[in-house]
Amino acid sequence: MMMKPCRVVPVFLALLILIQQQYCYNFQVEAAGGDDFIRSRGTHFMLNGNPYYANGFNAYWLMYVASDPSQRNKVSSAFQQASSHGLSVARTWAFSDAGYRPLQHSPGAYNQQMFQGLDFVVAEARRFGIKLVLSLVNNYESFGGKKQYVNWARSQGHYLSSDDDFFRNPVVKGFYKNHVKTVLNRYNTITGTIYKNDPTIMAWELMNEPRCTSDPSGRTIQAWVMEMASFVKSIDGNHLLEAGLEGFYGHTTPQRRSLNPAGFDIGTDFIANNRIPGIDFATVHSYPDQWLSSSNDQNQLSFLDNWLSTHIQDAQYLIRKPLLITEFGKSWKDPGFSAFQRDLLFNKVYTKIYSSAKRGGPAAGGLFWQLLSEGMESSFGDGYEIVLSQSSSTANVIAQQSHKLYQIRKIFARMRNVERWKRARAQWSARNGGRRIGH
């Protein structure tokens, strides 16, 4: 029986032709490299010689839960469900400072049970083919944050007037650098690989959402990011590094500051901070339901559309580095919430990423906030949680985006193979006096 031709092939070929046209003048497929580290080249991520695009998620709780061996099945379940929906990057905390079940209970003193939990997270991520973005400290008091570092210095007799002295005080900066050095040089008790040598880790993040409201000029954060980026790179030349920014514009681009939501003059600068040489890619967060809480859903989506378009454009032309949308979501606690409205927001973010990716732009992926395993909602739910097995429509939106980005990666892999064949053919022809291959 004659089968009807599948329509997927023409669509795939059309996309291949489009991407080849977009890239023929401004993109060169790299030669293969097989060390599995994700790197940046211009405005693109590269993995083993091919452009890398990824759909992903946040799960800040991974180390905390994995520190109790009896609960590690929740981490495994989260990774398994994520992998089955094509999610391949997870962002999580590599910090927990003082307080209940800390990783670091005082400066330089570590809880090995918590560190072994992080070891398990890295090992399980590797098993499920998931890359990790590991954040090194919090701006907020949750899990200690900059406030705890400042209090540690105060307890040693140092006078600090503000939690923002985290960014200025040399003693506090020394505490932070010691934590960075400890995490990067950690020997994984499960895999036997030192963290700084493990390609499972995609990138380090200097801080979750750094803010310094005491210096809205941005000079304090700029100096801190420059110093800490240089320090991280002096230890680890394998991994990418990002600053943890939400994407608010600063004083170096006054014409952009009107795009910030009202009241967010917080001492960061999306352009200047991300232009720092040691920062390998830019990040942006998107919470229109928080930032424009008095606006309706349509106005929030319009803001989101403009917010993402502008950041993608600036990553392309001003920063000239890849862009990862490292947090976005919509809370079920919002008045009038519906899964349909959440799906619209996810689709808006995903469409912006895909449109950029297919034309060779800098947007390389989005990480929604946040993924939970079944039964975790009462302890870790914050309104933004997604349990994939219980949120079928949103889970479908997520899986479709994963598939679309994976198709782009496959196209680039084919392009690289074609380029390798062309080079081999040219070399053979040169060696054989220009004779043709075949008939």
Reported as half-sphere exposure (CB side, CA atoms, 13 A), residue 144 has a value of 25
Rounded distance between C-alpha atoms, residue 246 and residue 264, angstroms:
10
Contacts of 246 (CB under 8 A, 6+ apart): 209, 268, 283, 284, 285, 327
Helices (H), 134-217: 145-155, 170-184
Q: What 3-state DSSP class applies to 152?
A: helix
Rounded distance between C-alpha atoms, residue 206 and residue 189, angstroms:
24
Residues noted as catalytic:
209, 327
- CB of 158 within 8 A of CB of 169? yes
Nearest to 125 by CA among 86, 74, 90: 90
201-205 and 131-135 strand pairing:
parallel
Measure CA 217 to chain center: 26
Assigned token pair, 47? 């993995």
Bond from prior residue into 390 cis (ω within 30 degrees of 0)? no
Residue with tokens 């919002």: 334
Rounded distance between C-alpha atoms, residue 290 and residue 382, angstroms:
13
38-41 and 109-110 strand pairing:
unpaired
Straight-line distance from the first to the last Cα atom of the chain, in angstroms, rounded to the nearest whole number: 34
* Burial (0-12, 13-18, 19+ Cβ within 10 Å), 437: exposed
Residue with tokens 């950029």: 356
Rounded distance between C-alpha atoms, residue 89 and residue 201, angstroms:
9
Rounded distance between C-alpha atoms, residue 233 and residue 241, angstroms:
8
Residue with tokens 């892999």: 413
